[in-house]
């Protein structure tokens, strides 16, 4: 890191912004992977592998946007300590970018977050604070961020505004990658919602560029989002999702319900079954929220088949299964958590074998 980066000045800000821009240009686009479906269906399913980004998840894009937002607003200087609330993935990416700029970073995470994510945050030089109550994570981060010399990155409020939905985002990238395919404009894009930033960005981009593509958002058990979307109410509360990264106990500011064409509730057994199936079918071990995405995408495909439609569907690989070796990839942990993916997995496999139109989510 250049020494000048530690000086609080316009020159430091220019250097910091240049460093982020250079890093963005040097980072290869995450690949689009094809999930095998029976060829007679005439439907192509793609997964955009965001785990290939340098900090290992789709949150790489968000962390960069949040840093740029704080820098151009003049709220981050060369002496700022950064802090955010996270279920882990965002904090890993924020720690990665904080290190790039030479700034200290503190992550406030719920007590149950996987040890793998904690290790990653620390390996990038971040400090981890645990909040016993998952609903208190944001409040603790805000309290720390209010101290002099600190800046609260506030992903849950800012994700959908700090991200540029017009260009340079995940949606633009995937449309560019699909341009040479037989169905270049997907019928559906399927994503999950943590902050809601990814879904808002994808939904806005599709409308802004006048696509016919529709946006489906999958929601795990015990999340407030599906009910909030169904009823149009923002005061919904839920117990709290077990699928790390997606589903929230309350409706976050970045969740923009009106950008979503459809929400699909997915139970945890189907999320895990689809995660396991992805690993068995493609060799890609992804995290559980990717399983939720895949289960939702297969449900959408089942409906396309029923309607006699062909076309493409795109979803995201959000992060790698390495982060869940001791949890979602551990049989004893799954048993203790009372998540049994057996029946769900059999249903999905028989659907994919073309033998039955099952409820896959």
Check binding of 194 to ligand PLP (CB under 6 A): yes
Binding residue for ligand PLP, selected from 81, 223, 271, 289, defined by CB under 6 A: 289
Check binding of 217 to ligand PLP (CB under 6 A): no
Q: Site residues for ligand PLP, window 60-119 (CB under 6 A)?
A: 89
The minimum distance between CB 60 and ligand PLP, in angstroms, equals: 11
* 16/47 with CB nearer ligand PLP: 47
The minimum distance between CB 283 and ligand PLP, in angstroms, equals: 19
Binding residue for ligand PLP, selected from 43, 103, 263, 318, defined by CB under 6 A: 318
DSSP notation for 198-267: HHHHHHHHHHHTT---EEEEEE-TT-SHHHHHHH--S--B-S--SSTTS--SB--TT--GGG-SEEEE--
Q: Site residues for ligand PLP, window 24-63 (CB under 6 A)?
A: 57-59
The minimum distance between CB 12 and ligand PLP, in angstroms, equals: 29
Residue 302 CA, chain-centre distance (Å), reads 24
Question: Applying CB under 6 A, what is the total number of residues that bind ligand PLP?
Answer: 21
Check binding of 16 to ligand PLP (CB under 6 A): no
* 19/289 with CB nearer ligand PLP: 289
C-beta atoms surrounding 72 within 10 Å: 12
* 77/323 with CB nearer ligand PLP: 323
Check binding of 198 to ligand PLP (CB under 6 A): yes
* 91/178 with CB nearer ligand PLP: 91
Check binding of 275 to ligand PLP (CB under 6 A): no
* 15/246 with CB nearer ligand PLP: 246
Strand boundaries in the chain, DSSP class E: 32-35, 43-49, 81-85, 105-110, 127-131, 150-152, 188-192, 214-219, 262-265, 311-317
CA angle 350, 299, 288 (to 5 degrees): 90
H or E, element range at 338? none
Binding residue for ligand PLP, selected from 197, 220, 265, 291, defined by CB under 6 A: 197
For residues 310 and 228, what is the distance between their CA atoms, to the nearest angstrom?
A: 31
Check binding of 246 to ligand PLP (CB under 6 A): yes
Q: Do the Cβ atoms of 178 and 213 come closer than 8 Å? A: no
* 19/221 with CB nearer ligand PLP: 221
Q: Where on the chain is the footprint of ligand PLP (CB under 6 A)?
A: 57-59, 89, 159, 191-199, 244-246, 287, 289, 318-319
């Amino acid at each position: 890191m250049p020494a000048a980066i530690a000086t609080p000045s316009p020159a430091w800000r220019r250097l910091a912004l240049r460093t982020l821009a250079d890093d963005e240009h040097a980072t290869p686009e995450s690949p689009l992977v094809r999930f095998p479906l029976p060829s007679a269906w005439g439907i192509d399913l793609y997964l955009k592998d965001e785990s290939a980004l340098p900090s290992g998840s789709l949150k790489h894009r968000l962390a960069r946007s949040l840093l740029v937002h704080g820098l151009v607003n003049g709220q981050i200087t060369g002496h700022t300590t950064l802090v955010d609330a996270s279920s882990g993935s965002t904090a890993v990416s924020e720690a990665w970018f904080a290190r790039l700029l030479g700034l200290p970073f503190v992550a406030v995470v719920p007590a149950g977050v996987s040890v793998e994510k904690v290790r990653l945050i620390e390996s990038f030089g971040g400090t981890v604070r645990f909040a016993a109550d998952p609903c208190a994570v944001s409040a603790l981060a805000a309290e720390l961020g209010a101290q002099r010399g600190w800046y609260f990155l506030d992903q849950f409020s800012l994700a959908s505004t700090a991200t540029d939905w017009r260009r340079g985002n995940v949606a633009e990238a995937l449309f560019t990658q699909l341009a040479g395919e037989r169905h270049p404009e997907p019928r559906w894009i399927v994503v999950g919602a943590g902050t809601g930033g990814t879904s808002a960005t994808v939904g806005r981009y599709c409308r802004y560029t006048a696509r016919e593509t529709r946006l489906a958002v999958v929601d795990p058990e015990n999340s407030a989002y599906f009910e909030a979307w169904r009823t149009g109410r923002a005061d919904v509360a839920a117990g709290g999702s077990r699928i790390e990264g997606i589903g929230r106990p309350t409706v976050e500011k970045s969740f923009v319900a009106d950008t979503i064409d459809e929400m699909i509730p997915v139970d945890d057994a189907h999320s895990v079954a689809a995660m396991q199936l992805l690993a068995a079918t493609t060799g890609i071990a992804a995290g559980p929220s990717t399983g939720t995405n895949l289960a939702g995408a297969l449900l959408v495909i089942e409906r396309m088949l029923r309607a006699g439609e062909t076309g493409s569907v795109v979803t995201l690989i959000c992060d790698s299964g390495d982060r869940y070796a001791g949890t979602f990839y551990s049989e004893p942990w799954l048993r203790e958590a009372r998540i049994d993916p057996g029946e769900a997995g059999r249903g999905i496999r028989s659907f994919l074998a073309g033998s039955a139109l099952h409820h896959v989510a």
